[in-house]
Amino acid sequence: MQSASRLHKALKKGGATFGAWQMLPGANISKTLAITGVDWICVDTEHGNIDDAQMHEAVTAVASFGISPVVRIAANEAWMVKRALDSGAHGIIVPLLYTPEDARRLVSSAKFPPLGTRGFGSPFAPNTFIASTSPDGPHKPVALMDYLQQANGSLVTIVQIETAEALANVDAIAAIDGIDVLLIGPFDLGNNIGRPILAPELHPELKEAIAKIHAAAGRHGKGTGIYCTGLEQAKMYQEHGFHMISICNDVGALSGFFGNALQILKPSSGAAGGEVKY
């Protein structure tokens, strides 16, 4: 399974991975994002317009191109973790953690016994882990029982550090076995520490908070990720040694392109464009 997960392999190797954020439903959108060559695609069921059935279709579509599908669930709920992983997600992103106990509860939900409490039975989960039996042979998904035995060491568990409480507890959260990546949600983090992003330049306290999270992840051998809204930001965090970097979401890419085009073609139209820099 590990060899069939582009994200897992890249995180083990070190260095930066780049991802897209899917908020609109539709397998064709998933495929369009996947053919760009990103390393992973986040299927966003927290803030995106994607329901359970659409999540299943998106995960399968992304994986069919050899890209790792990652699902952001809406909350740290065991049944949401189960649905995401049972769809075949190579990893999960979990928002709004507060305490180390929240992180331990998440790990339990994401792991099969004896490491956790995840139930076994989805016939769909193995189908997104495609392994070749030989260089010239057929590509087949891992067997169901192989998935059961290998999933605990192959799936990527990503926690968002975006609350004041999680920031205060970041070292303890990063130290927990089974947490693989700390992903920074800068907008919610800024809101929750009283430094919302209201201008292109981040407030110094928000920059310090991001640096604190990155350092804590490094001390405990975990990866660091961040949600970006543009290339300039993504490049900066690559240079800072981050491991999971989003480039853009589908909604932003569509509205940004057309908005910027109209600013050029119809300067007086007042079309919104540009990007927030941090």
Q: How much is the pLDDT for 278?
A: 44
Reference 236, options 223, 251, 247; nearest CA is 247
Amino acid at 171: D
Enumerate the active-site residues: 47
Q: How much is the pLDDT for 63?
A: 96
What stretches of the chain adopt beta strand conformation (E)? 17-22, 40-44, 68-72, 91-94, 130-132, 139-141, 156-161, 181-184, 223-226, 244-249
Write down the H helix ranges in 64-169: 78-86, 100-110, 144-150, 164-168
User: Which DSSP helix (H) or strand (E) runs through 4?
Assistant: none
User: Which DSSP helix (H) or strand (E) runs through 252?
Assistant: helix 250-265
How many CB atoms neighbour CB 14 within 10 A?
9
* pLDDT (tens place) for every residue of the chain, 278 residues total: 898 999 999 999 999 999 999 999 999 999 999 999 999 999 999 999 999 999 999 999 999 999 999 999 999 999 999 999 999 999 999 999 999 999 999 999 999 999 999 999 999 999 999 865 445 555 789 999 999 999 999 999 999 999 999 999 999 999 999 999 999 999 999 999 999 988 878 899 999 999 999 999 999 999 999 999 888 999 999 999 999 999 999 999 999 999 999 999 998 755 555 554 44
d(CA 72, CA 56): 13
pTM of the model: 0.92
| CB 85 within 8 Å of CB 121 | no
Q: How much is the pLDDT for 185?
A: 92
Reference 87, options 67, 111, 70, 74; nearest CA is 70
The DSSP 8-state label assigned to residue 89 in this structure reads -
| CB 246 within 8 Å of CB 21 | yes
Q: How much is the pLDDT for 142?
A: 92
d(CA 106, CA 116): 9
d(CA 222, CA 103): 14
Q: What is the CATH number of domain 6-260?
A: 3.20.20.60
d(CA 102, CA 26): 32
Length, in residues, of the chain:
278
d(CA 10, CA 6): 6
The DSSP 8-state label assigned to residue 175 in this structure reads T
d(CA 101, CA 211): 23
| CB 1 within 8 Å of CB 37 | no
Torsion on CA atoms 178, 209, 211, 189, rounded to nearest 10: 60
